[in-house]
Amino acid sequence: MQDENQANQMEIEEVRSICEGYHIIKKLGYGTYAVVKLGQKGHEQVAIKFLKVKNEQERPKIIQKLKQEVHILELLNNHNHTGIVQLKYVSDNLTYIKKNGQIVNKIGMILELGEKSSMLSYLKELQKFDEQTSRFYFRQLMTVLVYMKKHNIFHLDLKPDNIVFDSDFNLKITDFGFSKQVQGLIKDFHGGSKPYMAPEIWDRIAYDGSKVDVFAAAQILYKMITGCFAFNNCQEQPYDLIKQNDYAQFWNIKNKQHQTLFPQGFPDDFKDLINKMFDPDFNRRITPEECLQHPWTMGLEANLYQIQEQFNNLQERINQQLEQQKEEYKRKKQKMRDYERAAQEMKNLLQQSQQSYKSGNSQKKNPIIDKKRQIMKKFKFTFENRVLKRGLPTKMIDEILIYDDPKNLFCSIIDHFDKCGKIINIHETKCKLNVNIMENDEEKQEMQIELKKLEGDKLRVEVLNLGDDYIKFNEEVQNLKQSIQQQRDEVHIQQQ
């Protein structure tokens, strides 16, 4: 226990951001309107939800959104239902002390933590749940929806991300940011997450909030049983078949898709339940109460001990993966900072070198400018009419992000391919060229390289594969990266 306390204390000491006395440990999740972080005070851990405020003009609207979510949570928490996360504290003026000591105020709330993480994290690890475990959580979910319905409250954004497990692995619903308390039909909200949105949401008509939650719950149940969505959006064929009430064709497609999972096809009672929950006419769609009484739901379910035995081991793996991802993110962030710092130093050296060359203060020739002139002379081009197009980083393996002078960089790229390949063409108006990689006097790989400008002084080297050998292509991209870095290192040495 002492070692555990010391470990917890060390973890807290590493984190300097504090909100209302809670040390901010890590980010738990984020969305369009909010970010959720793990807070710790002593042995107590909580989820702190911060609402995003882009500008002061937006602040009143965000505060109103906060009040709506708090009102719903307070109503649901009044009866202390175990399937709803508990609200601990709320303020439009949370005291937040940043790592550098700066104090800012944030809009947000402090909530009960789903200690065993979200349903999504377990589905990612297991792909799917067995039928009895799925039935256990489906019954718990429907029980919560029945409770909410009694209070005319509807979630409107149900998904595995917004379902968490408590310390015993019981289900709890969280994130009521889109929720409504309405008697009758809802007319003023047509949003949510695309894979879970009912036809009436897409059609932008007045709808029954409880039936929208049932439709989303059908997608969750299908995901638990099969490990994938019944459909990803409203433009897919399965969704069209549901809207057309063509369930025979829908299940024909799904039987083929999940043949290894259900060699004899899906069970009839499961198909019947899904059909009734996905009914495109919400007036006919099954209610949460009817879902609980359906034959499939009344079947054999796992007990909590079985789930705990299975999921506890899984929780350790999930935590390890999260820690590995966290460390990897830190390493990448530090590497990028180091790279940007070195790149800025290189840029400063280049500028000093060019200024020194122009002013005639240097008694010896500038090797950088001389080399660039030699390449331009050899390939008979100038930069006078050459346009550096704008682009966006795509985070693909075939792009290289770099800080450099575009003229120097383009000449470095030409120099690289002049040595290892055959330059087919240098574009007249763009920083672009086509090359053939040669091996034993044979053409092995055709590539197209273009230099584009990003925000600030950052540049992107975009490499397009025009051949069939993807292994060779990836090798050449890596060779180009190394060559650019090597030439930059040489320049740095020459300037010292």
How far is Cα 218 from Cα 238, in angstroms, rounded to an integer? 14
Instruction: Provide the terminal-to-terminal Cα distance of the chain, rounded to the nearest Å.
Output: 55
Which candidate, 467, 462, 403, places its Cα nearest to that of 430?
A: 462
How far is Cα 70 from Cα 110, in angstroms, rounded to an integer? 11
Angle at 187 between CA 185 and CA 188, to 5 degrees: 140
| 408 contacts 375 by C-beta, under 8 angstroms | no
What is residue 476's three-state secondary structure? helix
| 22 contacts 110 by C-beta, under 8 angstroms | yes
| Residues paired with residue 445 on neighbouring β-strands, in sequence order | 437
Which candidate, 221, 78, 223, 220, places its Cα nearest to that of 153?
A: 78
Which candidate, 473, 351, 459, 337, places its Cα nearest to that of 404?
A: 459
| Alpha-carbon dihedral 247, 250, 255, 257, rounded to 10 degrees | -160
| 197 contacts 217 by C-beta, under 8 angstroms | no
164, two tokens: 């968490």
How far is Cα 123 from Cα 59, in angstroms, rounded to an integer? 36
238, two tokens: 């399965």
Which candidate, 74, 50, 174, places its Cα nearest to that of 114?
A: 174
> Any known ligand binding at 49?
yes
Which alpha helices (DSSP H) does 258-399 contain, by range?
Answer: 268-277, 288-293, 304-359, 367-379
Kindly tell me the sign of the dihedral angle through the C-alpha atoms of 245, 246, 251, 253: negative
262 torsion bin: left (phi>0), alpha (psi -120 to 50), beta (else): beta
Which candidate, 80, 2, 77, 88, places its Cα nearest to that of 44?
A: 88
| 218 contacts 230 by C-beta, under 8 angstroms | yes
417 torsion bin: left (phi>0), alpha (psi -120 to 50), beta (else): alpha
Angle at 475 between CA 324 and CA 336, to 5 degrees: 40
What is residue 286's three-state secondary structure? coil
Concatenated DSSP letters of 288-314: HHHHHHSTTTTS----HHHHHHHHHHH
How far is Cα 134 from Cα 51, in angstroms, rounded to an integer? 33
What residue numbers does the annotated binding site cover?
49
What residue numbers does the annotated binding site for ATP cover?
49
